[in-house]
Amino acid sequence: MALYRAAWRWHFYAGVFVTPFLLLLALTGLVMLFAPQLERVQYRDLLTVTPGQAALALDRQVGAVQQLYPAAEVTRVRPPAAPTQSTQVAVTTQGHDLTVYVDPYTAQVLGQVDQSSRLYAVAERVHGTLLLGDTGDRILELASGWALVLTATGLFLWWPRPVRGRRDWRASFIPQRAAGRAGWKNLHATLGFWVAGILVFFLITGMAWTGVWGEKVVQAWNTFPAQLWGAPTSTVPTAALNRDGEKVVPWTLEQTPLPTSGSAAGAPGVTGPVTLDAVNRYAAAQLPSYWIALPGGRDGVYTVSASTMSGDLTDARRDLTLHIDQYSGRELARVGWDDYSLGAKGMAAGIALHQGRHGPLNYALALLSCAVIAFLCVSGAVMWWLRRPAAARRLHAPPMPSPVLWKGGVAIMAALGVAFPLVGLSLVAVLLLDLLVLRRLPAVKAVLS
């Protein structure tokens, strides 16, 4: 009983902190799942064209964009992957990232969309930073770490306890009809069990992008080493090719510096004059759909990228990134699935699953999971409301276990601190808050109890 009460108490306080953020992540996740379909309707006139006899040179299409936006910098191009698709040209002008859509058969500019205004981009900013930049990123990383605690303690509470020597497994797997709080509790527990594994998967793959555990720990250990290319490198990370609401660089390459043009390094690649069209032909012979990033300055390179990150592929085993010298056309780097570390392979495959891009079943499961997670947040709050005494002026947390399981608590705190640094720091902060502040403010401590 003491262990059950301890788990319940941990589950409660973790839920108080995590629930608002988990609900927000679930709802914005739903928006991001629906956004591509909605945007295909919203921007139908920009995305689709009437097929012609032959597409014009890519250089000519980009030239039409440069003529319309003479002060803009063209950063990358996405050639159409089907005869009815338009060419997408990414430009930066006056501090804004625009996607300009061009008819590949006439070089007519169809229109443009500001990246920051796209539904997906807005939802992604909320989903990743709460619109608070690095501060929001750290808050969400902390909440995600505690959500793992919430899930682990929730599974412990779900485990059926014996009644008269028997465990009722059926009631643990299938929701039972019951009135009041008992009904909410049973539904919360059974749905929580079924979605627990998916929630952990969402949390881990999402945390791999965060600024501390993701960037400093996991990604740092799985970043592709540029030294293997044997080509001179710049100080610009490959992640610089990404932009608001549009990640095109594989996760394992984000921290890897871009190579530079102008050396004798590399393997044979583009033959003849090195133009955008020549690079496009070279890429089209190897990939069905891809982005081409243009050289950034005199030392820059052409980068061809097709990955699960960009949505060009759903099979991570076909990921491919090429860096091409803008002068010689030599292939300075080629990175694909076989070059990824184990962690990078897990992320490359996990990204498509996380975003519901692995076919209709994966998409439906992602939608259902987000909806269930949102329901768990609401049902948890409802259970607390039904349990608390009327007119109570405190949180009415579950009682402390007796005896206090301090050894187990210390072990859990230490393990969490090692695995997830921000969670460990938050535990220390809460401990200091309790020792140095709350004990001197009994009225405040009573409200939180």
Shared domain check, 397 and 429: yes
Q: For residue 114, is it within any domain?
A: no
Shared domain check, 66 and 208: no
pLDDT in tens, 128-145: 999 999 999 999 999 999
pLDDT of amino acid 431: 75
pLDDT of amino acid 133: 93
* Residue-averaged pLDDT of the chain: 90
Q: For residue 112, is it within any domain?
A: no
Shared domain check, 285 and 247: yes
The total domain count for the chain is: 2
d(CA 265, CA 227): 12
Among residues 275, 309, 340, which one ends one of the domains?
A: 340
Q: For residue 349, is it within any domain?
A: no
Collect contacts of 389-395 with beta carbons under 8 A, ≥24 apart.
Answer: 393/447, 394/446, 394/447, 394/448, 394/449, 395/16, 395/447, 395/448, 395/449
Shared domain check, 216 and 150: yes
Shared domain check, 390 and 244: no
The percent of residues above 90 in pLDDT, for the chain, comes to 63
Name the range with the highest mean pLDDT among 175-179, 297-301, 407-411, 431-435. 297-301
pLDDT of amino acid 5: 80
Question: How much is the average pLDDT of 259-288?
Answer: 96
Q: What token pair was written down for 322?
A: 């090429």
Amino acid type, 186: N
SS3 201: helix
Among residues 279, 309, 340, which one ends one of the domains?
A: 340
Confidence of residue 445 (pLDDT cuts 50, 70, 90): low
Shared domain check, 247 and 153: no
Shared domain check, 129 and 26: yes
Q: For residue 395, is it within any domain?
A: yes
pLDDT in tens, 336-367: 999 999 999 998 898 889 999 888 999 999 99
Three-state SS for 42-61 is: HCHHHHECCCCCCCCCHHHH
pLDDT of amino acid 447: 63
How much is the pTM?
0.90
Q: Is 204's pLDDT higher than 90?
A: yes
Shared domain check, 444 and 418: yes
Instruction: Report the range of poorest mean pLDDT among 55-59, 250-254, 379-383, 421-425.
Output: 421-425
Q: For residue 199, is it within any domain?
A: yes
Half-sphere exposure of 132 (CA within 13 A, CB side): 7
Range of the domain at 99: 54-104+225-340
pLDDT of amino acid 1: 67
Confidence of residue 409 (pLDDT cuts 50, 70, 90): low
pLDDT of amino acid 335: 96
pLDDT of amino acid 414: 78
Q: For residue 144, is it within any domain?
A: yes
Among residues 340, 363, 378, which one ends one of the domains?
A: 340
Q: Is 404's pLDDT higher than 70?
A: no
Q: Give the position of tokens 């996607």.
A: 99
Judged on CB neighbours under 10 Å (0-12, 13-18, 19+), 154 is buried
Instruction: Report the range of poorest mean pLDDT among 88-92, 199-203, 220-224, 338-342.
Output: 220-224
Q: What token pair was written down for 364?
A: 């439906």
Judged on CB neighbours under 10 Å (0-12, 13-18, 19+), 142 is buried
Question: How much is the average pLDDT of 164-181?
Answer: 75
Q: For residue 65, is it within any domain?
A: yes
pLDDT of amino acid 296: 92
Shared domain check, 86 and 37: no
Shared domain check, 235 and 294: yes
Shared domain check, 413 and 268: no
pLDDT in tens, 303-316: 999 998 888 888 89
Q: Does a cis peptide bond (omega within 30 degrees of 0) precede residue 80?
A: no
Q: For residue 382, is it within any domain?
A: yes
Confidence of residue 407 (pLDDT cuts 50, 70, 90): low
Angle at 213 between CA 212 and CA 216, to 5 degrees: 60
Angle at 448 between CA 443 and CA 449, to 5 degrees: 95
Return the higher-pLDDT residue of 319 and 404.
Answer: 319
Shared domain check, 304 and 231: yes
pLDDT in tens, 60-119: 999 999 999 999 999 999 999 999 999 999 999 988 999 999 999 999 999 999 999 999
Q: Which residues pair with 87 in a beta bridge?
A: 102
pLDDT of amino acid 164: 65
d(CA 196, CA 154): 9
